[in-house]
Amino acid sequence: MHEEEGYGLSAPQVGESLRIFVTQREDDEEGQGGIVYINPRFLRVEGTLEAQEEGCLSLPDIRGSVRRQPIVEIEATDVEGRVFRMESSELMARCWQHEMDHLDGVLIIDRMSVMDRLVNRKKLKALEEQD
């Protein structure tokens, strides 16, 4: 993911144990606000695993290659209680999986290769010492 930082944010990241996350809109026109996904679930996750670099707001300075499937269909409820479905085979598909991982307590370091974990070892140690 080229600029994953700030692309999405999940409730667990801000101390809420709700199954909610928000993302920017894919077309990203100013003033439109983000998309809120309440109780999201995947209807479909398809395609051959693709490795791409990701970062995360919860892990400053940590970047690593994460393998994910490229095609995702998601269903969620919006802030007005309406159920909606979206599909993406672009950056957003990866973003949804990243945010869904947060809801399940999974971070990108859990999905990185051993090599990437070694590369990020010092930064991870520094983060752990902050807590």
List contacts with Zn ion (CB under 5 A).
56
Query: Strand pairing partners for 8?
Result: 23
Residue 53 catalytic? no
**Closer to Zn ion by Cβ: residue 56 or 72:** 56
The distance of closest approach from Cβ of residue 4 to Zn ion in the complex, given in angstroms and rounded to an integer, is 7
**Closer to Zn ion by Cβ: residue 79 or 106:** 106
**Closer to Zn ion by Cβ: residue 3 or 29:** 3
Q: Which residue has the tokens 């973003």?
A: 95
The distance of closest approach from Cβ of residue 116 to Zn ion in the complex, given in angstroms and rounded to an integer, is 15
Which residue lies nearest Zn ion, judged by its C-beta?
Answer: 56
Sheet of 8-10, strands arranged across: 8-10, 20-23, 35-46, 71-77, 83-88
For the chain, the residue count is: 131
Q: In whole angstroms, how far apart are CA 45 and each of 20, 54, 63, 89?
A: 19, 19, 23, 10
The distance of closest approach from Cβ of residue 94 to Zn ion in the complex, given in angstroms and rounded to an integer, is 11
Please list the active-site residues: 99
